[in-house]
């Protein structure tokens, strides 16, 4: 099982959910093929707005078996392959539970508003490039240069 938390809100709880089954296995396989997409959980952009997707394995043995860290951050601006990190982050955000049945979720997981995944992908697309963020930009992502990504 994998806990996914989108680090995007200040003053509100960040959306968090648990993936199981094939959805979790697909993430592990993709990350094991591109481990440079992951960064330490405490690195990356620290200003207001989207700060990345935090992934935590419920079991360290799964992480060890696939050669990935037990917890890491994607799309926060600090990985060696941010492009792949952004791709994986969007895939994870799209697994956010909303509406009807979702077999990839752990039992009892809260379902979110149907538009939240789209809103989070939009926030991710508007996040500043970490390499170009200055001290003045810490006031908010709107002040920093934008990442060049495909539209959600």
Mean pLDDT of 20-31: 89
Q: Encode pLDDT of 96-126 as tens digits.
A: 887 655 555 555 555 677 788 999 999 898 8
SS3 of 3-18: EEEECCCCCCCCCEEE
Q: Which strand ranges, in their side-by-side order, compose the sheet holding 71-74?
A: 16-19, 2-6, 53-57, 71-74
Q: In the structure, what pLDDT confidence band is assigned to residue 70 with cuts at 50, 70 and 90?
A: very high
Query: What does the alpha-carbon distance between residue 109 and residue 102 come to, in Å, rounded to a whole number?
Result: 10
Q: What is the pLDDT of residue 34?
A: 93
Q: In the structure, what pLDDT confidence band is assigned to residue 84 with cuts at 50, 70 and 90?
A: very high
Sequence-distant (≥ 6) Cβ neighbours of residue 11 within 8 angstroms? none
Mean pLDDT of the chain: 80
Q: Encode pLDDT of 137-148 as tens digits.
A: 444 444 433 444
The least confident of 3-7, 73-77, 99-103 is 99-103
Q: What is the pLDDT of residue 97?
A: 85
For residue 58, pLDDT over 90 is answered with: no
For residue 55, pLDDT over 90 is answered with: yes
Mean pLDDT of 46-55: 94
Q: What is the pLDDT of residue 37?
A: 95
Q: What is the pLDDT of residue 59?
A: 83
pTM for this one? Answer: 0.77
Query: What does the alpha-carbon distance between residue 69 and residue 135 come to, in Å, rounded to a whole number?
Result: 30
């Amino acid at each position: 099982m994998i806990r996914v938390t989108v680090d995007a809100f200040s003053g509100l709880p960040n959306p968090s959910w648990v993936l199981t089954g094939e959805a979790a296995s697909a993430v592990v396989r993709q990350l094991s093929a591109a481990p440079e997409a992951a960064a330490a959980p405490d690195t990356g952009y620290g200003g207001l707005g989207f700060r990345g997707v935090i992934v935590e394995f419920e079991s360290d043995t799964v992480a060890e078996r696939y050669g990935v860290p037990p917890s890491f951050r994607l799309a926060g601006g600090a990985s060696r392959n941010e492009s792949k990190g952004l791709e994986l982050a969007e895939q994870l955000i799209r697994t956010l539970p909303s509406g009807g049945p979702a077999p990839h979720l752990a039992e009892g997981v809260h379902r979110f508003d149907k538009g939240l995944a789209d809103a989070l992908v939009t926030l991710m697309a508007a996040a500043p490039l970490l390499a170009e963020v200055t001290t003045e930009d810490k006031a908010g992502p709107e002040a920093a240069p934008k990442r060049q990504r495909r539209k959600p």
